[in-house]
Amino acid sequence: MLKNSDKKNLNEYNRAIQLVNLGTELLNKHRYDEALKVLNEALKLHADFPVALNERGRVYLRKKNFKKSFDDFNKAIQLAPDYPVAYINRGLVFDKRKQYKLAIKDYTKAIRLDEEYTTGYYNRGIY
């Protein structure tokens, strides 16, 4: 049987997942400010949630706030060093900053983590 504190933590985590899904949907609909608000709410519930950080980083990337997007991708990678999507997205930031060697390094790392993740090959192939 779960303790009340465990139930609360589980409920908060489940709510954070729902918010990340909603935030991603809003991002894909180009509703960036709404997505940011929802993803910030998810991160208030679960601050060390790599997927939420990655998705918020994507919002910042679309809004051309490369500093904040880079910070979110870095934190996602620190929390989940085996998460290839965060490396791809950080590589996009390096690309925007014209730091092409670092972008290639991140794309290569993503490929090493998941050889079937074709985005890494595509992005690396641009160079």
What pLDDT was estimated at residue 118?
Answer: 86
Nearest-5° Cα angle at 28, 21 to 56: 60
What pLDDT was estimated at residue 2?
Answer: 46
Expressed as residue numbers, the domain containing 57 is 1-80
Same domain, 30 and 86: no
SS3 111: helix
If one counts every other C-beta atom within 10 angstroms of the C-beta of residue 105, the result is: 16
Name residues whose C-beta falls within 8 Å of residue 48's C-beta, 6 or more positions apart in sequence.
79
The model's pLDDT over 24-76, given as tens digits with 9 standing for 90+, comes to: 999 999 999 999 999 999 999 999 999 999 999 999 999 999 999 999 999 99
Q: Which of the 8 DSSP states describes residue 26? A: H
What pLDDT was estimated at residue 72?
Answer: 98
Residue 18 has pLDDT above 70, yes or no: yes
Identify the burial level of 56 via C-beta atoms within 10 angstroms of its C-beta, where 0-12 means exposed, 13-18 middle and 19 or more buried. Answer: buried
| Count of the separate structural domains present in the chain | 2
Nearest to 86 by CA among 102, 63, 70, 62: 70
Nearest to 36 by CA among 12, 72, 10, 8: 72
Same domain, 64 and 23: yes
The model's pLDDT over 63-114, given as tens digits with 9 standing for 90+, comes to: 999 999 999 999 999 999 999 999 999 999 999 999 999 999 999 999 999 9
Same domain, 5 and 61: yes
Same domain, 8 and 67: yes
Same domain, 55 and 4: yes
Nearest to 108 by CA among 100, 99, 120, 97: 120
What pLDDT was estimated at residue 5?
Answer: 61
